[in-house]
């Protein structure tokens, strides 16, 4: 007989599809990766040609949707049907984008009024698509790769996001996964995932910094690693600063040279992309070479450009210094000095630029760690966390809220409710009051960011607390509670204290997809969405039934003596009926059997409660008797 397994209290694993591993996905600006971990050993999954990186490029061709390398090849020939770097638009509003549209290689669609979600839409291949739908294609692309090598469907994943992603961008990432039919076990911050991969593989202990300079985002996190606990002390960065910006600076330099020799001219979207592509090639080439020559072809005229590393360093210097300024701020927030940092982990393709690595080494006074491939380390960490969440592990990730959260007060000022670097999950409240006599409603405007003025921060949501009884100004007491969960997602609740009028919103509306749009997208993209939904509901019902069965089993072991033989036979019969329902595929039967158990064990539960209360009374003085019984009866 196999030895009995003893689990920690409350952590008995549920009978989830045990043979189906959960994956880790790094949904990057430039590349997307997928990895799995088994017994603490993570591994990146590769395509048939051995490539780990799936270029984050999607092409919408008349023949169908292409993802990855083939899509990237189409980027030059067919720029109007191809989208790259879509991550930079995640969670952005149409208004945000219009301001920078000129400098982005996208065709922005005028927002469609009847959807009313304010989301950016791109014109691609004759369609109007949101960044969420395009990201979902990337997730489907890597999931398909994983399904080939794992031999089963990928339906649960840890997905990484830049630590500096705001609430809207996080929500958009979750929506993309939902469209791709992947359940998000957790959103994990990219630098935290990288630290996890390093910590576990290298047995690191002490304070470490993770410098994560990717294609479109920059994060710097300071973590303390001790005895399997990965505690983020502080995080900082810029969600709109990445390797793409380096390409831009170099491309602009080329354009200035070109204008000097050939005169001013306007570039088409395709030619602008060519210029960016040349700039990127120059950047990549100059990581190993000290000089090179590139040509730009536009409007039938070719121009030739020499670039050496010293000149490139001068061009991109200001961008690199911005990252160093963030490093300085984060050390201060973490209350450590660079001397306390035991090691700096480099993450992201942009850390391959020699100037970046050199400046990081100078600032932290130590040689950065690059033992794990900077392109793969985030996906490896995500895979480790996916295993931890489904199979269990000794590691523990304690992360923080990267940006302050607050609400608008009088005069367009922001009152912070949750400060940045607060450990999550967190709940904080602040009290506000009315400013006019008889005021019966209060507009709550939720903001994210560090600045003092409303206009300088990101607007996440507005909602109205109504039904406040008329009182003199300042008499109402409205408590606004912010709750940030382990994914870094915010829920806000407002409550008027004297009356208990209450309202709650999961913060999503400003730039998120509403459920109606989401449902329409699901229908449009999946013929079998209905079937998948049914399968998910069946699984949830089974999980619930299994929980009930385990609970009744445990109760029978402890208190079985309270039952007569007949009563016991009835309960055993109900349990057996439920187990056979769980073995089947009929959700109604599973639910009916669960309801029958609940019904059939209520007398048993009453006897157990009576015994528990009698036990508690032993040794309790008579004066407490009444209230103890009372409190037992109320529950």
Partner 1 sequence: MSATQTDGADRAMAGKTSIAQCWSCQGPVAQGQSFCPTCQAIQPPGNPEHFAQLAMEPTFDVDLAQLEQNYFRLQRTFHPDSFAAKSAKEQEFSLRHTTNLNDALKTLKSPVLRAEYLLQMRGAPAAGGPEKTVNDEGILMEAMETREALAEADSPSDVEAIVAVAQAGILDCTTDLSVAFADGDLTAASALTLRLTYLFKLDDEAAQRARILSRSA
Site for partner 1 in 535-554 (CB under 8 A): 543-544, 547-548, 550-552, 554
Does the annotation mark 181 as catalytic?
no
Q: Say whether residue 275 binds partner 1 (CB under 8 A).
A: no
Question: Which member of 479, 539, 568, 587 binds partner 1 (CB under 8 A)?
Answer: 479
Subset of residues 573 to 602 that bind partner 1, contact rule: CB under 8 A:
601-602
Question: Which member of 148, 310, 502, 580 binds partner 1 (CB under 8 A)?
Answer: 502
- Nearest-angstrom CA–CA distance, 446 and 489: 13
Q: What is the CA radius of gyration of the chain?
A: 28
Residue carrying structure tokens 């607007």:
459
Contact stretch for partner 1 (CB under 8 A) within 56-64, 137-145, 342-350, 417-425: 417-425
Does the annotation mark 301 as catalytic?
no
Phi, psi of 81 (to 5 degrees): -110, 10
Q: Say whether residue 631 binds partner 1 (CB under 8 A).
A: yes
- Closest to partner 1 by CB, 119 vs 465, is 465
The one catalytic residue in 133, 181, 212, 496 is: 212
Which helix H or strand E contains 138, and what residues bound it?
Answer: helix 131-150
Q: What is the DSSP letter of 86?
A: G
Does the annotation mark 532 as catalytic?
no
Is the separation of the CB atoms in 155 and 20 below 8 Å? yes
User: CA end-to-end span of the chain, whole Å?
Assistant: 41
Q: Say whether residue 11 binds partner 1 (CB under 8 A).
A: yes
Q: Say whether residue 489 binds partner 1 (CB under 8 A).
A: no
Which helix H or strand E contains 199, and what residues bound it?
Answer: helix 190-202
Q: Say whether residue 193 binds partner 1 (CB under 8 A).
A: no
Q: Say whether residue 608 binds partner 1 (CB under 8 A).
A: yes
Q: β-pairing, 458-465 with 57-61? A: unpaired
Does the annotation mark 607 as catalytic?
no
- Nearest-angstrom CA–CA distance, 290 and 372: 26
Min dist. Cβ of residue 384 to partner 1 (A) = 12
Question: Which member of 108, 426, 518, 529 binds partner 1 (CB under 8 A)?
Answer: 426
Token digits of residue 164: 């500096």
- Nearest-angstrom CA–CA distance, 448 and 414: 9
Contact stretch for partner 1 (CB under 8 A) within 67-75, 83-91, 196-204, 393-401: 393-401
Subset of residues 228 to 247 that bind partner 1, contact rule: CB under 8 A:
229
Min dist. Cβ of residue 186 to partner 1 (A) = 6
- Nearest-angstrom CA–CA distance, 359 and 288: 17
The one catalytic residue in 166, 190, 247, 496 is: 190
- Nearest-angstrom CA–CA distance, 190 and 512: 22
Q: Nearest Cα to 390, choosing from 152, 36, 34, 28?
A: 36
Contact stretch for partner 1 (CB under 8 A) within 210-218, 348-356, 531-539, 608-616: 608-616
In Å, what is the CA distance from 281 to each residue of 293, 568, 579?
10, 75, 61
Q: Say whether residue 12 binds partner 1 (CB under 8 A).
A: yes
Q: Say whether residue 609 binds partner 1 (CB under 8 A).
A: yes
Residue carrying structure tokens 């070479």:
289
Subset of residues 167 to 186 that bind partner 1, contact rule: CB under 8 A:
185-186
Question: Which member of 390, 434, 448, 517 binds partner 1 (CB under 8 A)?
Answer: 390
Question: Which member of 76, 290, 332, 595 binds partner 1 (CB under 8 A)?
Answer: 332
Question: Which member of 41, 152, 358, 624 binds partner 1 (CB under 8 A)?
Answer: 624
Tell me the per-residue interface mask from 15 to 54 with partner 1, x by CB under 8 A, - otherwise: -x--------------------------------------
Contact stretch for partner 1 (CB under 8 A) within 196-204, 448-456, 507-515, 606-614: 606-614
Which helix H or strand E contains 477, and what residues bound it?
Answer: none
- Closest to partner 1 by CB, 428 vs 440, is 428
Q: Nearest Cα to 377, choosing from 126, 198, 603?
A: 198
Residue carrying structure tokens 């019966």:
440
Is the separation of the CB atoms in 36 and 24 below 8 Å? yes
CA dihedral 64, 65, 67, 71 (to 10 degrees): 70
How big is the site for partner 1, counted in residues (CB under 8 A)? 71
List the catalytic residues: 26, 87, 190, 212
């Amino acid at each position: 007989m196999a030895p009995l397994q003893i689990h920690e209290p409350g952590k008995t694993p549920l009978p989830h599809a045990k043979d189906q591993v959960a994956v880790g996905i790094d949904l990057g600006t430039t590349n997307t990766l997928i990895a799995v971990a088994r017994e603490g050993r993570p591994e990146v999954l590769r395509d048939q040609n051995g490539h780990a990186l799936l270029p984050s490029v999607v092409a919408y061709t008349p023949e169908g949707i292409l993802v990855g390398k083939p899509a990237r090849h189409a980027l030059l020939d067919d720029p109007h049907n191809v989208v790259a770097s879509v991550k930079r638009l995640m969670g952005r509003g149409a208004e945000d984008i219009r301001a920078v549209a000129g400098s982005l290689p996208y065709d922005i669609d005028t927002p469609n009024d009847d959807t009313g979600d304010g989301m950016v839409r791109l014109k691609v291949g004759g369609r109007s698509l949101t960044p969420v739908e395009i990201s979902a294609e990337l997730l489907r692309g890597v999931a398909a790769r994983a399904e080939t090598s794992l031999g089963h469907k990928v339906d649960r994943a840890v997905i990484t996001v830049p630590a500096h992603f705001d609430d809207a961008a996080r929500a958009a990432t979750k929506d993309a996964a939902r469209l791709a039919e992947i359940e998000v076990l957790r959103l994990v911050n990219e630098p935290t995932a990288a630290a996890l991969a390093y910590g576990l593989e290298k047995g690191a202990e002490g304070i470490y910094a993770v410098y994560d300079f990717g294609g479109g985002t920059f994060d710097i996190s300071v973590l303390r690693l001790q005895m399997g606990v990965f505690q983020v002390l502080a995080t900082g960065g810029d969600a709109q600063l990445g390797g793409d910006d380096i390409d831009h600076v170099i491309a602009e330099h080329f354009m200035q040279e070109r204008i000097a020799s050939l005169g001013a001219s306007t570039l088409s979207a395709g030619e602008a992309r060519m210029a960016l592509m040349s700039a990127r090639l120059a950047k990549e080439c100059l990581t190993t070479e000290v000089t090179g020559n590139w040509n730009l072809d536009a409007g039938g005229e070719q121009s030739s450009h020499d670039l050496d590393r010293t000149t490139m360093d001068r061009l991109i210097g200001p961008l690199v210094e911005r990252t160093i300024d963030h490093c300085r701020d984060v050390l201060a927030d973490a209350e450590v000095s660079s001397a306390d940092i035991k090691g700096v982990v480099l993450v992201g393709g942009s850390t391959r630029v020699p100037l970046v690595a050199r400046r990081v080494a100078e600032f932290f006074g130590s040689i950065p760690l690059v033992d794990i491939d900077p392109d793969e380390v985030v996906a490896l960490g995500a895979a480790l966390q996916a295993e931890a969440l489904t199979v269990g592990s000794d590691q523990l990730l304690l992360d923080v809220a990267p940006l302050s959260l607050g609400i608008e007060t009088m005069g367009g000022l922001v009152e912070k409710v949750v400060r940045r670097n607060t450990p999550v999950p967190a709940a904080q409240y602040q009290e506000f009051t009315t400013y006019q006599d008889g005021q019966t409603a209060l507009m709550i405007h939720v903001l994210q960011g560090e600045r003092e003025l409303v206009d300088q921060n990101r607007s996440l949501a507005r909602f109205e607390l109504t039904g406040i009884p008329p009182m003199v100004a300042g008499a109402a007491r409205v408590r606004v509670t912010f709750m940030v969960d382990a994914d870094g997602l915010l829920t806000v609740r407002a409550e008027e204290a004297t009356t208990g009028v209450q309202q709650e919103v999961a913060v999503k509306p400003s730039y998120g997809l509403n459920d109606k749009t989401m449902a329409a997208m699901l229908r449009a993209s999946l013929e079998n969405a209905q079937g998948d939904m049914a399968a998910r509901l069946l699984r949830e019902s089974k999980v619930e039934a299994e929980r009930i069965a385990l609970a009744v089993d445990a109760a029978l072991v402890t208190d079985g003596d309270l039952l007569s033989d007949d009563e016991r036979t009835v309960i055993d019969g109900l349990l057996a009926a439920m187990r056979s329902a769980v073995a089947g595929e009929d959700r109604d039967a599973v639910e009916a059997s669960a309801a029958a158990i609940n019904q059939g064990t209520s007398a048993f539960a009453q006897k157990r409660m009576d015994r528990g209360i009698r036990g508690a009374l032993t040794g309790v003085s008579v004066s407490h008797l009444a209230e103890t019984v009372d409190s037992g009866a109320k529950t």
